[in-house]
Structure 1
């Protein structure tokens, strides 16, 4: 089809060729394309990626690289709690005269592994229920949302303590507890995004073509919802890390003698009351938690910035 049309000038017999006057207006009504999943990290994003990669590496290979087992005593003939850093114990020893660096390396795998598994479970349940409620209809949406609101109104730490006290503390229980608690927040985000996409013109066009619900969810909703949900995954992972560490600090998370960063802080609080004691048994695991969460947050901020601010609006 030609991009030009002929018209007759007023008062003249000659014709001339001119472009359509509203050519750009027609394209303004089209829906935006699905957000691209490709982006480049900025300097802060790369810093976060390096920090997170370091701790993930320690979490995977720490038990093989640690100088001692998590419960070994590096100086069995010279027992003294809270020793300062020295050869053989570069971060000193804790209240039980165990090597702090070795316990941090062992604890990285548990802290990161439990939090990651709990976040994955929360997202699987939350996204399935949230998008399902968005496409299933008003009655299903109302019932599921009211149940979700009842659970989300409970404080997370209190609910976690109740569950762990009732069924006991173990790694599978911590994963399931974190997944069920944070599923409620993921559900609200997934439902909000799903409801927004369901009223778009391209979804209505797919319905008119006779496409089924499964096709609409996989081909229309998920490609447009993936970026904000993936970005929020990082934020949720931070909250789950702090949640698991808080439970361990309160004595209801990972149980001794296993190493966990939150548990290490709790076990070594006596260093603040011991004259001349090294504070590294408390400071080192606390810094590990802080650097990991800051690194994840830097990556999430970078991804959110490349998403044009749409993530913040959706949340």
Structure 2
């Protein structure tokens, strides 16, 4: 799916916004998945929609992880007022329903790929913080971290050389869940009409655009919906395998 998204301009038979078939044309030689309500090729639309979805998903999840994990490790090392301030800030962020907060932010700032990525990253970072903060607290009390402090290592060294490598299995599991939740979140926003704006569309937007096709006996809305489900299942399966791989201990 990632390769198909990256190669969408090459794999798509026609430009995604070009009206080339009758509305809701059935799948056939002219179009593998048929056409949408405006006569645009659904295969081309799905490939480009997958590209938008995965770019936003990976960018937002990676940025969220960087924010949440960095603050969690820093809180575990510094403690005191910094830990309290960051913890209360994330408590406030988690107390507000994310979909409502996203609606407010996007209504104020406007919808663009940049605002979508940063809004989702900030909202998701609270989950990373809550998952990694207890782990960071436990690791920061380890002897090797105390030795690094005593020999004068700075915060950055302790963050990325002492604590972060020992959190990899937990972070891989959370990253897999984060990718799935980000995919569902951007799809939900697009289904509500505040995601990627027409004529472009991500997978959630394609479901919204083609909902009426079901009444015409077409299965076009099910294709992008199936892509969302398949991506979430696949990425969680890969994350589970990576966690088990990194968690293995050599036999003594």
TM-score (norm 1): 0.75
Aligned: 1:65 with 2:11: yes
Counterpart among 108, 111, 125 of residue 67 in structure 2: 125
Aligned: 1:305 with 2:244: yes
**For residues 28 and 102 of structure 2, what CA distance do their matches in structure 1 show?**
39
Aligned: 1:286 with 2:232: no
What is the Cα-based RMSD across aligned positions, in Å? Answer: 1.6
SS in 2 for 1:306: helix
Higher helix share: 2
Aligned position for 1:32: none
Aligned: 1:220 with 2:162: yes
Counterpart among 33, 37, 47 of residue 105 in structure 1: 47
1:202 Cα deviation from its structure 2 partner: 2.3
1:1-47 Cα offsets, whole Å, 9 max, x none, are: xxxxxxxxxxxxxxxxxxxxxxxxxxxxxxxxxxxxxxxxxxxxxxx
**For residues 177 and 218 of structure 1, what CA distance do their matches in structure 2 show?**
26
Aligned position for 1:198: 140
SS in 1 for 2:221: helix
1:270 Cα deviation from its structure 2 partner: 0.8
Counterpart among 198, 210, 215 of residue 256 in structure 1: 198
Aligned position for 1:154: 96
**For residues 18 and 151 of structure 2, what CA distance do their matches in structure 1 show?**
67
- Whichever of the two has the greater Rg, that structure is 1
Q: CA 1:171 to 1:210, structure 2 compared with 1: closer, same or farther past 3 Å? A: closer
List gaps (5 residues or longer) in structure 1: 1-54, 310-315
Q: Structure 1 residues 118-127 or 209-218, which shifts more?
A: 209-218
1:144 Cα deviation from its structure 2 partner: 0.9
List gaps (5 residues or longer) in structure 2: none
Aligned position for 2:126: 184
**For residues 221 and 299 of structure 1, what CA distance do their matches in structure 2 show?**
24
Q: CA 1:215 to 1:121, structure 2 compared with 1: closer, same or farther past 3 Å? A: closer
**For residues 91 and 70 of structure 2, what CA distance do their matches in structure 1 show?**
17
**For residues 196 and 243 of structure 2, what CA distance do their matches in structure 1 show?**
33
**For residues 214 and 255 of structure 1, what CA distance do their matches in structure 2 show?**
40
Aligned position for 1:74: 20
Counterpart among 107, 116, 121 of residue 174 in structure 1: 116
**For residues 118 and 155 of structure 2, what CA distance do their matches in structure 1 show?**
29
**For residues 139 and 288 of structure 1, what CA distance do their matches in structure 2 show?**
45
1:197-247 Cα offsets, whole Å, 9 max, x none, are: 011222233334444433332321122123321332121011111100000
TM-score (norm 2): 0.93
Contact 1:245 1:253 in 2 (8 A): yes
